Amino acid sequence: MARKKRKQQEIFALGNEAVVEGALLAGCSFFAGYPITPSTEIAEVMSARLPRIKDGVYIQMEDEIASMGAIIGASLAGRKSMTATSGPGFSLMQENLGYACMTEVPLVLVNVMRGGPSTGLPTSPAQGDVQQARWGRHGDHPIIVLSASNVQECLEMTVVAFNFAEKYRTPVILLLDEITAHTREKITIPHAEDLEILARVTPAMPPEWYVTYEDTMRGVPSLAPLGTGYRFHVTGLTHDQNGFPTSKPEEVKALMYRQFRKIDQFFYDIQLVDEVECADAEVLVIAYGCVARSAELAVSMAREQGIKAGLLKLKTLFPFPKTTVQALARQCRAVIVPEMNMGQISREVKRVNNGFTKVITNNRVDGQIITPSEIFKNISQA
Amino acid sequence: MAQVTELIHNYLRHNKKFPHVYCAGCGHGIVLGSLIRSVHNLGYSKDDVVLVAGIGCSGRMAVYVDFNTVHTTHGRALTFATGIKMANPSLKVIVVMGDGDAMSIGGNHLIHAARRNIGLTALVLNNNIYGMTGGQYSPTSPPGTISATSPFGLLERSFDIVDMAMASGANYVARGTVMQVNMLDGLIAEALENPGFNLVEILSPCHTQYGRKNKFKTVVDMYEWYKKNTVKLDRYVKMSAAEQAGLTPIGVFRKETLPGLEVRYAELREKLQEQG
């Protein structure tokens, strides 16, 4: 008997609305946040949707510090949880985000980038939070940072963000920009059954055998939801395998090294990029977020003129996709990095390129998108 | 006495994290004992209790006791606890904070947790000083306090934790001291059983960082001070203003039983889902 083909649902949605669709598909049932432009639609739609699903919780907290605290608490209680914010709110979240890094709590934080620093340009796009996303917390730690460049990707990358958070027991930051978040276009909502949805590993052993931060081959300890009989201690202090505070150098080192190892050794799983016309490219454009759309058009304009241009669209920003960037950079005579900041990804490109190929920066920080013609001009002169 | 100790030992992670950090004469151990007796007498399972703590001497309490324990960031304990309670309302959530935690860096979280009436019990251990960092004045240090950062006497006024909780709409507000332990056991137990947001301020002495610099020669002097200068609320309200001067009332200031936010949210969810 032929299986009935399921009709996929198509909707006309904002990037921010697509984030909500992705989160709910991924199993998110807890949202805490604080209103801030241009991320607020995520909270608004969540407040209407979450109470309609089983055990769903939406809560508006008193500030972004509290929002981060609440989603960490909810995640420890076994929920897939998230928050969304922008610029100043992202700065406020860093404290508790660092706690989530140290305690390895899975969660998703969507930061819709606007012009900064400080209050900056609340309704204009920017990409100035890239290095903050990587290094905003004090102390050394790994983190996963993703981006999306159109509304469909907002949905898809939110699902990926939850999967990475659960799989690697880590906070994941999804960086959007005002343009991507506020673009309205047609998207296809996939069926939940067609998606791979991951959940954190919970302990299979009896409580008395449970080692809270056990160092396994995978490097990702299992996490028991609070109240399920596995009584353990969670602390932002440097801790031993049992979760208790320690300052013994060998135990401190073991914790830090495992936290890095659990991300580093799965680099190939985490590194997500799209290659457009890269196979024979001689001039490579590396872009992410809304700028990647301009870049895609610029590359096709260049191809029409007979210039062998290609686009490498970064979906994972950190850990930086060095293997792909390195290989493609070596095949090209020039790499152009257009971005709406003073050069936050181009410095990563230069670092992994190590002087091999010419790297041309193309920066803009006036709250306006980098246009296809601007990028095309750079390609044609490269 | 031996029986009391045995009861408490059943709740401690005695093989893991001792000796504790508390100085001789510190009141925090007495509070932990009181909390354990209250939980035991109410018959709660250790698995159902989540102890959420902030940073400072009070924050270290979480590591010693065999519940689900979360030692959070400075001042933010209530935000984590709010997430835990909303995510799983069947858990008994207890939050332990110090005066710096609750009234200074976490002051905003305290008033909002009380306002939204989230179902948990907050114990604020007030020793009038930042103990762990070496004795700097806190928002509850009395005017004139000599501390590491007010060597010439404190010019600022202090917060009254009970007044703050009352004004913010907490369901249950009480104050006790570590000198009157039977009363404290009762207050904590009552708070744990009450719905919505419950706060118990507990006066707990820090001789090391506060007492020595503020005319308390010995630890015993501080406990004596609590005994002499606190008065039960029912007696306090009958006193004249002149008699009340310098005295701190203790007891239950408010007891309401309005449902917690987590209960009201579950009702909303049920209603919406019935509508489909």
As for how many domains chain A has, the answer is 2
Interface test with A, best of B69, B72, B79 (most A CBs within 10 A): B79
**Residue A50, token pair as written in the block:** 């979450």
Q: What does the pLDDT read at residue A7?
A: 64
The string of DSSP letters for B195-261 reads SSEEEEEEE---IIIIITTTT--SHHHHHHHHHHHEEEHHHHTTS-HHHHTT-EEEEEEEE--PPPH
Q: How many residues in chain A?
A: 382
Q: Which residues of chain B are modeled with pLDDT < 70?
A: 1-2
* Interatomic CA distance for residues A126 and A122, integer angstroms: 10
Flag whether A26 is in a domain.
yes
Q: Do B269 and A56 touch (CB under 8 A)?
A: yes
A243 lies in a domain?
no
- Min Cα separation B49/chain A (Å): 7
CB A312 within 8 A of CB A288: no
Domain for residue A245, yes or no? no
Strand pairing partners for B150? B147
Q: Is A367 on the interface with B (CB under 8 A)?
A: no
- The whole-angstrom distance between B141's CA and the closest CA on chain A is 26
Q: Are A234 and A139 in contact (CB under 8 A)?
A: no
| Nearest partner of A147 among A340, A377, A373, A363, judged by Cα | A340
Which one-letter amino acid corresponds to residue B42? L
On whether residue A105 sits in a domain, the answer given is yes
Whether residues A148 and A18 share a domain: the answer is: yes
Does the bond joining A319 to the residue before it have cis omega, within 30 degrees of 0? yes
| Burial of residue B247, with CB atoms counted within 10 A of its CB: 0-12 exposed, 13-18 middle, 19 or more buried | middle
Q: Which among B17, B47, B86 is the nearest to A229, CB-wise? A: B47
Please list every residue in chain A whose beta carbon sits closer than 8 Å to the beta carbon of residue B67. 231
Task: State the SS3 of A164-208.
Answer: HHHHHCCEEEEEEEHHHHHCEEEEEECCHHHCCCCCCCCCCCCHH
pLDDT over threshold 50, residue A1: no
Residue B71: the pLDDT is 98
**Segments forming the whole domain that contains residue A335:** 274-381
Name the pTM for this structure. Answer: 0.97
The whole-chain average pLDDT of chain A stands at 96
Q: Which of B16, B52, B72, B115 has the most A C-beta neighbours within 10 Å, making it the best mutation to test the interface with A?
A: B72
**Do A142 and A282 lie in a common domain?**
no
Select from A194, A212, A241 the last residue of a domain.
A194
> Is residue B168 less than 8 Å (CB to CB) from chain A?
no
Chain B positions touching A71 (Cβ under 8 A) are 83
CB contact under 8 A, B50 and A227: yes
Binary contact (A226, B84; C-beta < 8 A): yes
- The answer to whether the Cβ–Cβ distance between B79 and A69 falls below 8 Å is yes
Q: Which of residues 40-59 of A touch B (CB under 8 A)?
A: 51-52, 54-57, 59
Both A117 and A27 in a single domain? Answer: yes
Cross-chain Cβ contact A77/B88 below 8 Å: yes
Q: Are residues A42 and A131 in the same domain?
A: yes
Beta strands B172-177 and B248-255, pairing class: antiparallel
A58-94 per-position pLDDT tens digit: 999 999 999 999 999 999 999 999 999 999 999 999 9
Q: Are residues A34 and A122 in the same domain?
A: yes
Which of A194, A217, A243 is at the close of a domain? A194
Whether residue A283 is contained in a domain is answered as yes
Residue B57 in contact with partner chain A when CB distance is under 8 A = no
**Residues A182, A279 share a domain:** no
Q: What is the CATH number for A283?
A: 3.40.50.920
* B68/A225 Cα distance (integer angstroms): 10
Residue A149 falls within a domain, yes or no?
yes
| Cβ-based contacts of B90 with chain A (< 8 Å) | 227
A57, A62, A242 ranked by CB distance to B87: nearest: A57
Is residue A35 in a domain? yes
- Nearest-CA distance from B164 to chain A in Å? 17
Last residue of a domain, one of A168, A194, A220: A194
Compute the radius of gyration of chain B from its Cα atoms: 19
DSSP state of A60: E
CA distances to A17, A110, A187, A188 from A12, rounded to whole Å, are: 10, 21, 6, 9
> What gap in Å lies between CA A202 and CA B218, rounded to an integer?
51
CA distance B150 to chain A (A): 28
pLDDT digits (tens, 9 = 90+) for A357-366: 999 999 999 9
**CA within 13 Å, CB half, B88:** 24
Instruction: Let me know whether A190 and A332 are in one domain.
Output: no
Q: Rounded to the nearest 5 degrees, what angle is found at the Cα of B37, between the Cα atoms of B35 and B43?
A: 105
Q: Which of B267, B260, B204 is nearest to B81 (CA)?
A: B260
From the list B98, B40, B99, the residue with the least C-alpha distance to B65 is B40
Residues 6+ apart with CB under 8 A from A74: A30, A32, A57, A81, B83, B84, B86, B87
Q: How far apart are CA B250 and CA A188, in angstroms?
A: 62
The DSSP 8-state label assigned to residue A357 in this structure reads: S
A9-14 and A184-189 as β-strands: parallel, antiparallel, unpaired?
antiparallel
User: What is the phi-psi region of residue B140: left when phi exceeds 0, alpha when psi lies from -120 to 50, beta otherwise?
Assistant: alpha
Helix (H, G, I), strand (E, B) or coil at B104: helix
Grouping H, G, I as helix, E, B as strand and the rest as coil, residue A121 is strand
Residues A187 and A279 in one domain: no
CA A242 to each of CA A103, A207, A246: distance values in angstroms, whole numbers, following the listed order: 12, 12, 10
Same domain, residue pair A313 and A172: no
Cis (ω within 30 of 0) for the bond into A117?
Answer: yes
How far apart CA A71 and CA A80 sit, in angstroms, is: 9
Does A6 have pLDDT greater than 70?
no
**Are A284 and A168 in a shared domain?**
no
Structural domain includes residue A166:
yes
A83: CATH: 3.40.50.970
Chain A residues closer than 8 Å to B87 by CB = 30, 57, 73-74, 77-79, 81
Q: How many helices (H) and strands (E) does chain B have?
A: 12, 10
Q: Residue B276: its pLDDT value, please?
A: 77
Nearest CA in chain A to B274: A52
DSSP-assigned beta bridge partners for residue A30: A57, A81
* pLDDT in the model for residue A4: 58
**A16 and A145 part of one domain:** yes
Measured between CB atoms, which of B67, B70, B76 is closest to A76? Answer: B70
Query: Number of Cβ pairs closer than 8 Å across A and B?
Result: 140
**Structural domains in chain B?**
2-275 (3.40.50.970)
Mean pLDDT of the region A239-246: 96
Residue A275, pLDDT > 90, answer yes
Window 7-26 of B: residues touching A by CB (8 A cutoff) are 13, 16-17
Whether residue A260 is predicted with pLDDT greater than 80 in this model: the reply is: yes
- Whether A2 shows a pLDDT value over 80: the answer reads no
Please indicate if any CB of chain A lies within 8 Å of the CB of B73: yes
Spell out the alpha helix ranges (H) of A15-146.
15-25, 40-49, 64-76, 87-103, 130-135
How far CA B231 is from CA of B12, B27, B49, B172, B180, in Å, comes to 33, 19, 32, 19, 11
The C-alpha angle with vertex A311 and arms to A307 and A312, in degrees rounded to 5, equals 145
* Closest residue by Cα to residue B225 from B213, B216, B234: B216
Residue contact B112–A74, C-beta within 8 A: no
ipTM of the complex in this document: 0.97
**Using CB atoms, which residue from B48, B73, B86 is nearest to A227?**
B48
For residue B273, the chain A residue with the least C-alpha distance is: A52
Q: What integer is the mean pLDDT of A227-235?
A: 97
- Give the model confidence (pLDDT) of A41-56 as tens digits: 999 999 999 999 999 9
